[in-house]
Structure 1
Amino acid sequence: MATAAEEPGSDSNARYTPEQLRTVLRLAADRGWPACVHAMGGGAIAAVTRTVRELRAAGASLAPGQVSIAHAFLIDDAEVDDCSELGIGLSVQPPLAYTYAREMRAVWGELADRAVPFGAMARRGARFAGGSDTHPCDPLTGAAIAVTRRAWDGSDLGADEALTPWQALSLYTREAGHYIGRSDVGTLRPGAVADFAVWPENPLARDATEWPSLRPTLVAVDGRPVWRGD
């Protein structure tokens, strides 16, 4: 679901009507299916939170994380809190702002710096996972963008919305596991899924601007090496 980019809060470009959204989420509740809504702008995000709230009030069973929002561009503080209260999962894609910064500014103007408010989300205690959805797509580069808040042309994406290096790396590890409801994904502990990458040095000991140039020496999936560096 998307709203008109020119008018955050408007639903003039909605891909789904409120009734269609209600029908889809009711079906997901009845069948236990996960449902992910791509939402841009306050009108679209509010439509999701409002529908989840209404369905629950009517007796629908929606487990935490069963409904999620991808992108969540232009989410505001109240909507962040609503998602946390309702157990709506959030996934964000730092490379989208990095790659499309000029297009976002052309449409949203000053709002572009607020389009992906990671810092505000973290300060409010929200949990959200990281992804890519465009190039560059490797997790370490996405994490670096969340820290540096710089676009491909060197322009600022809103430095006050930066994450700490630890928070940014967590988007692609622990928070990814939380997003899919798997506490055994994204952590290193006994009994956890053995999906991991090994770097020759600790990325947290390097400046985030250097992360995109780092290459792992080993990548394992389910305990099996699938990549070995030279």
Structure 2
Amino acid sequence: MAQAGGSLAITGAKLRTNAGDTGATAILIVDGAIEMLGGDAEVRAAAERRGIRVRDVAGATVTPGLFDAHTHPHWAAAVTAGVDLGGCETLEQVRSAIAAEHARLPEGAWLRGWNLEYEAFEETGMRGDLIADAAPGRPVALMCYDLHTGLGTAPALAAAGITGPREFDDASEIVVDENGVPTGELREPTAYGILFDAAPAPTHEEDRDRLRDMFRRLAAAGLTGGAIMDGKDATVELLAELETRGELDHRITVHHWHAVGDTDADVARVIEGRDRCGRLWECGAIKLFSDGVIDTGTAWLHAPDLRGDGRAPFWPSWERYAEVVRAYHDAGMLIATHAVGDYAVHRVLEVYADLPERPGLPFHSIEHLEVLSDADVEALRGSGVTASMQPLHMQWRSAAGEDNWASRLGSERAATGYRVRDVLESGCRLVLGSDWPVAQYDPRIGMAWARGRHTPGDPSAHVFEPEQRLTGEEALLAYTLWPAQARGHADRGRIVAGAVADLTVWAADPVEATPDELISVPIVLTVVDGRIVHEA
């Protein structure tokens, strides 16, 4: 069946409209759109005349629906099917978790794991032989928490045909020892994709239902939509199928993932499909990489990190990156470029600055911007670029600067991390997201980190760069109105007549709650296209 918008009346609410205080306490939704705001009695009477369900939220706060500006739900549905290794900080803890999963699995099955942290391998380097005897004879394939490194044991490498180094179009790498034998460490998606592609794949129905259920998990945290940053043709087909089945509970922008090795024919094919859309999903957007991550030394930095890494882009030919960006730009598509290192941000800004104007179309984004020089913050001013950032990634930093990220950068450069306040004050539009499954998808956690810059729920925790904290209103705007504006949507991110009825209903005001309180504020309702998709 075709999916249609719902009709609903919400009364007894405190409204945060992102459009000024209207004095209204109620919303009437008809066929997926907000028809009117008003008082409780007025809206209730209008709803009853039309046979529309009325829901009194008894003083709860209603905000525009929360939108994750950088997420990977389809990938996450597959990755998180394995054992969660988050919190395993030592090799023994990793081995113990693998052994427990090995004992649970049937003979012959692959052991999949995700959320693996680098700290467990700081002294030894990442090697598959260190974990192999925790699951004797079984293929083991693990994904690091940042989705930039994979680790496989010898049986898994053999099944994938990984026997030595290979040349890749991008900066991906099969790491080998002094004898040319793979260690099991596989850097960046092109390399580790060989490993994970060799594992048994889910059926089409399993893949579809996992994605459906993933969206429902996101809805329980108050999310009504997101920008998928690893879109593939298969992702688009699943979204279309879910919507046809009446099972799509999320509003999605699909950024098609452009790989470095993609040809002009690939670019043309993606451009040809740019107008594909449904009621709740749209294409027309692109995701590219300019560098890797700081933890593995693959971020592109103005100066090398303290281990001598960080001076290579993801693209062997930066001119080719510029050509591809121009092709998608001229086709009217929206481009998001991953740039973690300060020099990567600098070089992407240079390419964007050379693009011709496109009146009426939104401009492009840079994703992550984990470290920024003063000059590059200034370069953002007036650029029209959207900065898409994830302050909750600071959760892996230590107060003493002993974590892998800070120890590579050094204290002075680490202090330039996640400069959300400086970016905002430069006049650059700021949007927030999770990078799920890299970090938790819960937007309450994301907003709490952006506002408090310390472990949420622990007021005594160390505060990283307190001068970079956002206000409660700014954090909410960065999950609602600003992502809508960044994508050129005038009918989203606000509670006004004519806007789409994507709403998040909170038990308490998320702006007035402290960052430490925010993570525990219950989500009463999540409404997408006028339909209640989550109810506490």
1:2 to 284, 291, 295: 291
Secondary structure at 2:414's aligned position in 1?
A: helix
Q: What is the correspondence of 1:1-230 to structure 2 with a 5 Å cutoff?
A: 1-2=290-291, 5=294, 8-10=301-303, 12-16=311-315, 17-56=317-356, 61=358, 65-99=362-396, 102-110=403-411, 111-133=413-435, 134-151=438-455, 154-229=461-536
* Native 8 Å contact 2:444 2:519 kept in 1: yes
Shift in alpha-carbon separation, 1:165–1:92, aligned structure 2, 3 A: same
Secondary structure at 1:213's aligned position in 2?
A: coil
* Percent of aligned pairs with the same amino acid: 27
Deviation at 1:112, TM superposition (A): 2.1
Secondary structure at 2:336's aligned position in 1?
A: strand
* Matched letter for residue 168 of structure 1: A
Per-residue CA deviation, residues 162-203 of structure 1 (Å, 9 max, x unaligned), is: 111111111101111122221322211111121111112212
Q: Which has the higher helix share?
A: 1
Q: TM-score, normalised by structure 1?
A: 0.87
**Distance in 1, Cα, partners of 2:302 & 2:376:** 12
* Native 8 Å contact 1:90 1:179 kept in 2: no
* Matched letter for residue 207 of structure 1: T
Give the unaligned 5+ runs of structure 1. none
**Distance in 2, Cα, partners of 1:109 & 1:195:** 43
* Matched letter for residue 8 of structure 1: L
Shift in alpha-carbon separation, 1:63–1:97, aligned structure 2, 3 A: farther
* Native 8 Å contact 2:380 2:423 kept in 1: no
Structure number with larger C-alpha Rg = 2
**Distance in 1, Cα, partners of 2:361 & 2:444:** 28
* Native 8 Å contact 1:65 1:88 kept in 2: no
**Distance in 2, Cα, partners of 1:4 & 1:186:** 31
User: What is the CA RMSD across the aligned residues, in angstroms?
Assistant: 2.4
Deviation at 1:214, TM superposition (A): 1.4
* Matched letter for residue 103 of structure 1: N
Deviation at 1:129, TM superposition (A): 0.5
Shift in alpha-carbon separation, 1:95–1:179, aligned structure 2, 3 A: same
Secondary structure at 2:511's aligned position in 1?
A: helix
Deviation at 1:18, TM superposition (A): 1.9
**Distance in 2, Cα, partners of 1:85 & 1:195:** 31
Q: TM-score, normalised by structure 2?
A: 0.39
* Matched letter for residue 228 of structure 1: E
Count of residue correspondences: 226
Secondary structure at 1:189's aligned position in 2?
A: coil
Shift in alpha-carbon separation, 1:174–1:55, aligned structure 2, 3 A: closer
Please identify, of 192-201 and 94-103, the stretch whose mean Cα deviation from structure 2 is larger. Answer: 94-103
Deviation at 1:4, TM superposition (A): 7.7
Higher relative contact order (CA 8 A, sep 6+): 2
Per-residue CA deviation, residues 87-124 of structure 1 (Å, 9 max, x unaligned), is: 22221112222245633212212222321011112222
Shift in alpha-carbon separation, 1:84–1:28, aligned structure 2, 3 A: farther
